Amino acid sequence: MTKRAEILRAVSEAATVFADSPSGARTSFDIIGAVAARNIPLLFRPLDKLWGAFITVNDEERGIIVTTKLGLPVQRFTLAHELGHLLLGHQTSLDKTIGFAGRNAPTSRPPQEAAADTFASELLAPKRLLRASAKRHGWTRDKLHQPGNIYQLSLRLGISYQAACWALVTSDVLTRQQADRLQATSVKDLKRALAPTGSITNSWADVWALTEADSETFLEAGSDDLFAVRVQDHASAGYVWRLVDANAETEIVDERAPDLDHAYGARSGRVVYVRFRAPGVHQLVFEHIRPWNRAVLARIEIDIDGHGKERDGWARRTKCEVLEQVA
């Protein structure tokens, strides 16, 4: 099979898997769910030399291993890559790294690896998911040339910033040259631009710029991630945005008023920095209320899975299901 045919097969296989999977309010593809639905053995291990592996024994026993040493977006992309090897009928593959460029990979990339990369990119960042986030946030083509917006897109898709740059090439938003230039942007600097000094407690942690547009979505985040929630108080009418702390696990880390306008009647913008004290599935709720009579003008409600990356053993969800069965 030619490399081109192998890539096209990967594109088509990814589209089939995507179409078979329920999405709901998730902004990212549920890769763990897709692997579990196919009863594919999956283990996470502290592998030092490999990002992941697809292992097949006599074409009968097949399984996937992914390292616990990398962050959630890279774990997700690696898992999708290994699922690609499996569904495309490849032989055992021990992957020291994975390519984020998918079908835009350099020609030196072996055909089966380029195909698995393509499968991963098409499954986790298909045009449909990309468009859904772009529409929700008003990210026009021009805005998707800005590193800050590409970073926020990558968080919502659950892929790395680099992988998002290349997915935008596949979707004809960026050229290869633009992606090459943009992917060199320091993600650390993008995070720092969003967060007050000292508020990022762990170098893996991401900073989500959330707005009302994120309402009613389900986000998959890291356990130390910081959520910068931008709200606009309708202060002249007596309304302020307040965090509704349903479970006391939500902590306000800081609050800034970057574009406070003191002119009479003007709406004032604020950014509230929030973090969760414990890992888990959380609901982040803000209400735009009149404090004295509790009249509610608007509400922001975002579901966040804050477990972060997978730890040693089975996928967290599989562990929970097994526990439920034996309980």
**Residues interacting with Zn ion, by CB under 5 A?**
93, 95, 113, 116
The number of beta carbons lying within 10 Å of the beta carbon of residue 124 is 26
Q: Which is nearer to Zn ion, 93 or 121 (CB)?
A: 93
Q: Least distance to Zn ion from the beta carbon of 122, Å? A: 15
Q: Least distance to Zn ion from the beta carbon of 54, Å? A: 7
Q: Which is nearer to Zn ion, 116 or 179 (CB)?
A: 116
Q: Which is nearer to Zn ion, 53 or 205 (CB)?
A: 53
Q: Least distance to Zn ion from the beta carbon of 117, Å? A: 8
Instruction: Write the single-letter amino acid at 113.
Output: E
Q: Which is nearer to Zn ion, 70 or 144 (CB)?
A: 70
Q: Which is nearer to Zn ion, 53 or 207 (CB)?
A: 53
CA distance 204 to 327: 35
Q: Which is nearer to Zn ion, 112 or 250 (CB)?
A: 112
Beta carbons of 201 and 251 less than 8 angstroms apart: no
Q: Give the tokens for residue 131.
A: 């468009």
Q: Least distance to Zn ion from the beta carbon of 308, Å? A: 24
Beta carbons of 174 and 144 less than 8 angstroms apart: yes
Beta carbons of 324 and 296 less than 8 angstroms apart: no
| CA distances in angstroms from 22 to 17, 84, 136, listed in the order given | 10, 19, 19
Q: Least distance to Zn ion from the beta carbon of 64, Å? A: 11
Q: Least distance to Zn ion from the beta carbon of 113, Å? A: 5
Q: Which is nearer to Zn ion, 120 or 300 (CB)?
A: 120
CA distance 305 to 161: 20
Strands 226-233 and 268-276: antiparallel
Three-class secondary structure of residue 303 per DSSP: strand
Instruction: Write the single-letter amino acid at 142.
Output: D
Give the CA dihedral 153, 157, 160, 166, nearest 10 degrees: -70
DSSP secondary structure string for all residues of 190-213: HHHHHS-TT---STT--EEEE-GG
Q: Which is nearer to Zn ion, 55 or 134 (CB)?
A: 55
Q: Which is nearer to Zn ion, 51 or 241 (CB)?
A: 51
Q: CB-hemisphere CA count at 13 Å for 8?
A: 5
Q: Least distance to Zn ion from the beta carbon of 140, Å? A: 35
Q: Least distance to Zn ion from the beta carbon of 62, Å? A: 14
DSSP secondary structure string for all residues of 134-181: HHHHT--TTGGGSHHHHHHHHHHHTS-HHHHHHHHHHTTSS-HHHHHH
Q: Least distance to Zn ion from the beta carbon of 120, Å? A: 9
